[in-house]
Structure 1
Amino acid sequence: MARTQTNKTGGGKRSALQDVVTREYTIHLHKLVHGRSFKKRAPWAVKSVVDFARKSMGTTDVRLDPKLNQALWARGVKSVPHRIRVKLERKRNDDEGAKEKLFTYASHVVVTSFKGLQTAVVDAE
């Protein structure tokens, strides 16, 4: 089977306006913790949310809201929710001596149903 070569273009820098953005995602946790032993499911779900935020927002510094952590652990270590709606905010890091100039803050969005929900860009408040 022949491999096709992909050409990466547009590797320029983002503007300051594009740096700060807020999006809402639905994360399918059930497929991420499938096959994981019961005592490791909730910790793995937390790590999976952090990994998802790192990949989707492009920052290595990811901070979880305590309410999101409580939502993941609400039914115990074994019964992680199948899906969770998460608001990811890419923000500027104003700390002195920060390694990264941007970080991602992940918070929980309460929804009644996940039917028909897609990724949405949230306007800055």
Structure 2
Amino acid sequence: MPRKEKSKSSAIGEVVTREYTINLHKRLHGIGFKYRAPRAVKVYLLSIHLMYRMRIRLARLRNEDEDSVHKLYTLVTHVVVPKNGFKGLQTENVETSSE
């Protein structure tokens, strides 16, 4: 039985923007006090007194550099949510304006 050839997927179709909620409390539970801030900085630049959850927007964008091997890159931005406004939020696709 001959093998099927895999079709190469195009990275252009993967251009998408999504919003996620990250639970920092779950990721930092059990970590010592003086190690929390450096670990949280890897997720997002915050002070030692951390908020439990944060909303971030991940945007996969086309790389304009012709010399780059990667066709896409990810832009991470913080989305401001009012206090106690995380209830019921889920991952969602966001429409982006094409320029």
**TM class by smaller structure:** 0.7 to 0.9
Q: Identify, as 1 or 2, the structure richer in helix.
A: 1
1:124 maps to a residue whose letter is T
Alpha carbons of structure 1 residues 42 and 97: separation in structure 2 relative to 1, 3 Å: farther
Once the two structures are TM-superposed, the CA of residue 88 in structure 1 deviates from its matched residue by 0.5
Give the root-mean-square deviation of aligned CA atoms: 2.1
Q: Which runs of 5+ in 1 are unaligned?
A: 1-9, 50-67
Match of 2:64 in 1: 94
Question: Does the 8 A contact of 2:57 with 2:76 survive in 1?
Answer: yes
User: Could you state the TM-score of these two structures normalised by the residue count of structure 1?
Assistant: 0.62
1:115 and 2:87 aligned? yes
User: Could you state the TM-score of these two structures normalised by the residue count of structure 2?
Assistant: 0.77
Q: Percent identity?
A: 49
1:97 alignment partner, SS class: coil
Structure 1 runs, 4 residues or longer, greater than 3 Å off: none
Q: Deviations over 1:57-108 (max 9, x none)?
A: xxxxxxxxxxx63xxx1xx22x221000001000111124324221111101
2:89 alignment partner, SS class: coil
2:41 alignment partner, SS class: helix
Match of 1:21 in 2: 16
Alpha carbons of structure 1 residues 124 and 27: separation in structure 2 relative to 1, 3 Å: same
**How many pairs does the alignment contain?**
90
Once the two structures are TM-superposed, the CA of residue 118 in structure 1 deviates from its matched residue by 0.5
Q: Which runs of 5+ in 2 are unaligned?
A: 1-5
